[in-house]
Structure 1
Amino acid sequence: MALSNLTELLLRNQSAFNGPVLLIGPPEDLPLGAWPEATALSTDIGQCQRGIAGGENWLFGYDDPAAGKEYGAVVLVMPKAREELSLRLAYGESLLKAGGEIWLAGEKRGGIAGGAGVLQQRWPKAVKLDSARHCQLWCVRPDRQGPFAVADWLSLRQLNVAGQTLSLARMPGVFNDGLIDRGTELLLSTFKEQPKGPVLDFACGNGVMGAWLLQQWPDLELDLLDAQWQALRCTQESLAEALAVPAEGDAKARLIASDGLEKVDGPYDLIIANPPFHQGVRQDLSVTHHFLLQASSRLKRGGELRIVANRHLPYAEPMEKSLGPVTQLADDGRYRVYQSFKPRRPVRRK
C-alpha cells in the first residue's frame, strides 16, 4: 500500500531530525519501527495501543510521565483542531534539550498554511525546508526551553444543561469545546429518576452527561469512557466541579481510556451515549455500529442501552439486532432518543 504524502515527507527528511526524536500526532501509516531513536505521542488511545502492540514507543497525552526532557527534535504534525497547535508547540518546546529544534509538518487540506503562521508568530525565525505534494515542513530552533503545565490549558465554562447549572471543562482539541448540544440535553431530559448503576457513559466527551448525573445523584456508580486524552482530562475536571472535590481526589467515578468497548468488562445496568458519527470532516458510522452491536455483551440481563442521535442516522436497526425492540423516548425534530433492553432470558435464534 502506498504511503501518504505526509509520511513520505517525514521519511524523506528523517536524517535532518537530531535524536532523540519525539513525534507528536504522527500519521497512522508512519513506520515508527524503522526510526530507532523515535518516540511517538498521540491523544488517541487506539493509535497508542496499536503502536505499542507493534513494539513501538508511544506516549498517551500531554502529561504522560514517561516523556523525556532532552529531545533533539520534536516533530509536530498539524492537528485537526488548529487551536491545539499552540498547545503542541508549548509542550514540544518544554521537552527540548539545549539547541533542540521544533519541526512542523502538515498538509494543505489540514491547515498547514495557517499553522505555519502560528509557528512564525511564536518564532519569527521559523523557515520552510520542504514542500511537495501539498505538504510542507517547517523548522525553528527556539532560543530557550519554555515551561508547560496542563492546567494552563484547561478552563471552565458555566452552562445551564437540562435544568442544571454545570461548570464544564474545556481544552483545545475537545469536541464542542465546553459547549452543549441539543442532542445531549434531550437525552438527559429523559431521566426523571436516579438510574440503577453501574452506568457507562460511552464517548463521554468533556464529561457533561456524567457531571449532570452525579450532580443530581452523587452516589451513582459511573464509568466514563473516551478514546481521546483531552476528553478524559476535561471529564476529570467537570466531575470534580459537579461533586465539589479536587480533580485528583475521589470523584466517585472511573475514567476509562479505550477505543470502543474492547477494554471494558462490565456488566452494566445502563449504557448511555451521544455517539460520534464523524471521522474528521467525513461521516463515519462504523464506530457507532460496532458499539451498538457490542453493547449487549457489556449489559446485565435486563440492562438498558439509551442513546441520542441525529434523527436521520440509522441506529434503531443495529440496536434491535443487538438487544431487541427499540423504543423512541424523545424526538425534538432534529434528534431522537432511543432505548432498548437486553432480554432477561437468553433468546433462541431461529
Structure 2
Amino acid sequence: MTPDRWISALEQNALSLPPLSAVLIYGASGDMQLDVFGQARLLAVQGFYPDHARVVARGIDVHPDLPADAVDAFDLALVAAHKSKKLTLSRIAKSLMALRKGGILMVDGAKTIGIESILKALKSTFDGVEVFSKSHGKLIWFVRPDVLPQTCAEWVGSATKTEDGHIVPIGSFSADGPDQGSEILIALAPKLKGRVADLGAGWGYIAAHILDEQDSIETLDLIEADHAALEAARQNVGDPRARFFWADATAFKPDALYDAILCNPPFHTSRAADPALGQAFISAASRLLKPSGQFLMVANRHLPYESALKANFSTGRMLAEMQGYKLYQAGKPKAARSAR
C-alpha cells in the first residue's frame, strides 16, 4: 500500500508535528494511516456511509457532520479534499474554526479531484502555506492564524434551493437541480404498487415526484449513502409513505423484499466514470426484489450496463432512449429465484 502523503512528508522531514492531544479528521476514509498521531484523541467526520462504517469498525469516534460544539478544540485538523471545490473549502473553513489558535491545518488530495485549485485558494488567503507533492497529489499545511480572514466565513457552505424549491446540499450529485435522467424516469415510469425502493435516492427528487403522482404505492424507501443528501431528502419528501435509510445501497438489508425498485445509480468515485458502481446497484436490486418485482433504471447512454442487467434479471427491455439516457425495465430477478 502506498503510504498516505503525510506519512511520506514526515519520513522525509518535510513536515514535523508538535505533541498532539486532539486531532480532527474531516472526510476520514476507512484505510487512512492515523497511527502517526500517536495517543491523540481522534474525532473523525465522514458522511458517506461505507467509509463511516469502516471508521467506526476501527474504534474511532466518528460523526456524519462536525459537531456544533467542536470549536477551538483541536491541535491539528486533516481535511480530505472532495471533488467538489465548494465542499472542500467548506470543510477547510469549518476545520479552521475547530482548531485552536496556532493549530495546524492539513489538506490532502489528488490532482484528479482539483487539489491545485484548493492550493491556489489557500495561498491567496493565508501566509506560510507549505506543500508536499507525491503520488499525483499534494499535502498542504499551514498554521491557523489568531484571527481568521473573512474569506473563511464565506467558504462555509450551506444547502441551496432549486427553482422548484427542493433543498440541495453542497457537493451532492445534481447540485444545481434535477438531472435529465431522473426527469425521464419520472415521466416514463409505469404504474407502481406495493413496497417500492429508490436505491441511491440522493436528495429525494425521484421519490418526491413518484409519490406525488402514484397513489398505489404503499411505502417508498429512500436508501442513500450520503448523509447530507438524505437529510435534504427528509425535507424534500413530505409524503408519509416515505421512509429514509442512511445506508450503502449495495449492502442494504430491508425488513421485507420490494415490489419495485427505482434507480438512477451513481457512476463516479472521483471525476472519472466507474461503471462498476452502477453494476453493483443492479446486483443489489436483483437481491432486494420479490420474484415478481420489477426494476426501473435510468443511466447515461454510454455506460455498459446491459450485460449486468442480463446477468441479474431474466427479462428486460429498454423503455426509452433519449437526451443521452437509456431507461431500462427488468424483471424476474435471478437472485430471488436462487434464494428459494
1:28-177 aligned within 5 A: 29-33=31-35, 35=37, 36-37=39-40, 38-62=42-66, 70-97=73-100, 99-120=102-123, 124-133=125-134, 134-143=137-146, 153-158=158-163, 166-177=164-175
SS of residue paired to 2:265 = coil
Pick one of 285, 292, 296 that aligns with 1:302. 292
- Consecutive unaligned residues in structure 1, runs of 5 or more: 159-165, 244-250
Partner of 1:20: 22
1:120 deviation in Å? Answer: 4.8
Seen in structure 2, the aligned counterparts of structure 1 residues 39 and 345 have a Cα distance that, compared at 3 Å, is closer
1:186 deviation in Å? Answer: 1.3
1:274-293 aligned within 5 A: 274-293=264-283
More off after superposition, 24-33 vs 281-290:
24-33
1:272 deviation in Å? Answer: 0.5
Distance 1:16 1:253 in 2: 50
SS of residue paired to 1:173 = coil
Distance 1:69 1:220 in 2: 48
Residue pair 1:278, 1:284 contacting (<8 A) in 2 also: yes
Residue 200 of structure 2 corresponds to residue 203 of structure 1: yes
1:61 deviation in Å? Answer: 2.9
Partner of 1:162: none
Pick one of 239, 244, 249 that aligns with 2:237. 239
Amino acid at match of 2:308: P
Partner of 2:247: 258
1:270 deviation in Å? Answer: 1.0
1:276 deviation in Å? Answer: 1.6
Seen in structure 2, the aligned counterparts of structure 1 residues 3 and 43 have a Cα distance that, compared at 3 Å, is same
1:101 deviation in Å? Answer: 4.0
Distance 1:10 1:229 in 2: 33
Distance 1:55 1:316 in 2: 41
Residue pair 2:101, 2:144 contacting (<8 A) in 1 also: no
Residue pair 2:286, 2:335 contacting (<8 A) in 1 also: no
**Root-mean-square deviation over aligned CA pairs:** 3.3
1:262 deviation in Å? Answer: 1.5
TM-score between both structures, scaled by the size of structure 1:
0.80
Q: For this pair of structures, how many residues does the alignment match?
A: 327
Amino acid at match of 2:25: L
Seen in structure 2, the aligned counterparts of structure 1 residues 17 and 213 have a Cα distance that, compared at 3 Å, is farther
Distance 1:10 1:220 in 2: 57
1:177 deviation in Å? Answer: 0.7
Seen in structure 2, the aligned counterparts of structure 1 residues 91 and 341 have a Cα distance that, compared at 3 Å, is same
